[in-house]
Structure 1
Amino acid sequence: MTALPLPISVVLVTLTAAVVLGRWWLVDDQLIDRLLNWALTWEALGLTCFVCLAGISGPELAEYLFLACGPMTIVNLYGMARLLDGADPAAAARRQRRYNRFGAAAALLIAFGAVTGRTELAEWVWAVCNSVTIAAGPLVIRACVRELRSGTTRRERWAYSALLVVSAYLAVGSAVVAVRAVMGLPTAVPGTVYAIISYLVLVLLCLLIAIPLLLALVKRAGWDRDSRRYRRLHALWRDLTAAVPEVVLAQGVSYTGDPTLRLYRTTVEIRDALLQLKLYTEDTSNPGTGIHHYALRIAEAVQAKSRGLPAPGSADPVALAAPADRTAELRALLDLAAAWPAAKAAISGPPTGARTGAMWVT
Structure 2
Amino acid sequence: MSSPIPGVVAWAVIGYVTVLLSGRIWLGGGAVIDRLINHMGLWSIATLLIYRCASTPTIDDPANQLALGCVLMTTTYLNSIGRLASADSEPDTVWRHQRNTALLALAATASIVLAAASARYSGRSVDLRLAGDGLAIGCAFALPLTYNTFVFTRSCLGALRDLDTPRAARIVCIGLIGSNTVIWGAQALSVSQLATGWPDRPQLSLVQAAFTLWVAFDSTLLAIPLVAELVLRAGMDRATRTCRRLLPLWRDLTAAVPEIVMPADARHGSDPATRLLRMTVEIRDAILHLGTYLPAETGEMQRNTVREPESDRGITDYAHRLIQAAQARKAGLPPAGTGAPPPLPVVAHDFDAELAHLIDLARIWPQAKAAVE
Fold shared, TM-score > 0.5 on shorter chain:
yes
Deviation at 1:151, TM superposition (A): 9.2
Q: Which residue of 1 aligns with 2:105?
A: 106
Task: Please identify, of 100-109 and 242-251, the stretch whose mean Cα deviation from structure 2 is larger.
Answer: 100-109
Quick one: which amino acid aligns to residue 356 of structure 2? R
Quick one: which amino acid aligns to residue 79 of structure 1? S
Q: Deviations over 1:44-64 (max 9, x none)?
A: 23223443x4479x9922223
Q: Deviations over 1:221-264 (max 9, x none)?
A: 22222222121111111222222222222223312512222222
Task: Please identify, of 92-101 and 261-270, the stretch whose mean Cα deviation from structure 2 is larger.
Answer: 92-101
Q: Which residue of 2 aligns with 1:5?
A: 6
Q: Is the 8 A contact 1:23 1:213 kept in 2?
A: yes
Q: 1:65 to 1:199 in 2, by over 3 A?
A: closer
1:294 matches 2:318: yes
Task: Please identify, of 98-107 and 26-35, the stretch whose mean Cα deviation from structure 2 is larger.
Answer: 26-35
Deviation at 1:139, TM superposition (A): 0.3
Deviation at 1:340, TM superposition (A): 0.5
TM-score by length of 1: 0.75
Deviation at 1:276, TM superposition (A): 1.8
Q: Is the 8 A contact 2:294 2:321 kept in 1?
A: yes
How far, CA to CA, are the matches of 1:92 and 1:323 in structure 2?
Answer: 45
Q: Structure 2: where are the runs of 5+ without partners? A: 119-125, 127-132, 303-312, 342-346
How far, CA to CA, are the matches of 2:356 and 2:372 in structure 1?
Answer: 24
Q: Give the secondary structure class of the aligned counterpart of 1:16.
A: helix
Q: Deviations over 1:256-300 (max 9, x none)?
A: 51222222222122122222222322588x9x8511111111111
How far, CA to CA, are the matches of 2:158 and 2:3 in structure 1?
Answer: 30
How far, CA to CA, are the matches of 1:133 and 1:2 in structure 2?
Answer: 26
Q: Which residue of 2 aligns with 1:232?
A: 245
How far, CA to CA, are the matches of 1:293 and 1:123 in structure 2?
Answer: 78
1:133 matches 2:133: no
How far, CA to CA, are the matches of 2:230 and 2:242 in structure 1?
Answer: 18
How far, CA to CA, are the matches of 1:101 and 1:180 in structure 2?
Answer: 32
Q: Give the secondary structure class of the aligned counterpart of 1:168.
A: helix
Deviation at 1:177, TM superposition (A): 6.3
Q: Which residue of 1 aligns with 2:227?
A: 214
1:257 matches 2:270: yes
Q: 1:113 to 1:295 in 2, by over 3 A?
A: same
Superposed CA RMSD = 4.1
How far, CA to CA, are the matches of 1:261 and 1:140 in structure 2?
Answer: 31
1:94 matches 2:87: no
Which of 359, 364, 371 is the equivalent residue of 1:334?
A: 359
Q: Spell out the pairing of 1:51-90 with structure 2 (5 A cutoff).
A: 51=52, 53-54=53-54, 60-84=61-85, 87-90=86-89
Quick one: which amino acid aligns to residue 329 of structure 2? K
Q: Which residue of 2 aligns with 1:359?
A: none
Q: Is the 8 A contact 2:4 2:208 kept in 1?
A: no
How far, CA to CA, are the matches of 1:171 and 1:5 in structure 2?
Answer: 23
How far, CA to CA, are the matches of 1:136 and 1:102 in structure 2?
Answer: 12
Q: 1:158 to 1:46 in 2, by over 3 A?
A: same
How far, CA to CA, are the matches of 1:143 and 1:189 in structure 2?
Answer: 36
Quick one: which amino acid aligns to residue 99 of structure 1? Q
How far, CA to CA, are the matches of 1:146 and 1:15 in structure 2?
Answer: 32
Q: Which residue of 1 aligns with 2:18?
A: 17
Q: Which residue of 2 aligns with 1:357?
A: none
How far, CA to CA, are the matches of 2:155 and 2:43 in structure 1?
Answer: 20
Q: Give the secondary structure class of the aligned counterpart of 1:69.
A: helix
Task: Please identify, of 298-307 and 333-342, the stretch whose mean Cα deviation from structure 2 is larger.
Answer: 298-307
How far, CA to CA, are the matches of 2:193 and 2:164 in structure 1?
Answer: 38
Q: Give the secondary structure class of the aligned counterpart of 2:290.
A: helix
How far, CA to CA, are the matches of 2:270 and 2:195 in structure 1?
Answer: 55
How far, CA to CA, are the matches of 2:160 and 2:54 in structure 1?
Answer: 40
Larger Cα Rg: Structure 1 or Structure 2?
2
Q: Is the 8 A contact 1:74 1:132 kept in 2?
A: no
Task: Please identify, of 170-179 and 307-316, the stretch whose mean Cα deviation from structure 2 is larger.
Answer: 170-179
Q: 1:72 to 1:93 in 2, by over 3 A?
A: farther
How far, CA to CA, are the matches of 2:366 and 2:175 in structure 1?
Answer: 46
Q: Which residue of 1 aligns with 2:369?
A: 344
Which of 176, 196, 201 is the equivalent residue of 1:163?
A: 176
How far, CA to CA, are the matches of 1:335 and 1:82 in structure 2?
Answer: 48
How many percent identity over aligned positions? Answer: 30
Which of 148, 161, 169 is the equivalent residue of 1:146?
A: 161
Deviation at 1:112, TM superposition (A): 8.2
1:266 matches 2:279: yes
Q: Is the 8 A contact 2:253 2:283 kept in 1?
A: yes
Deviation at 1:341, TM superposition (A): 0.4
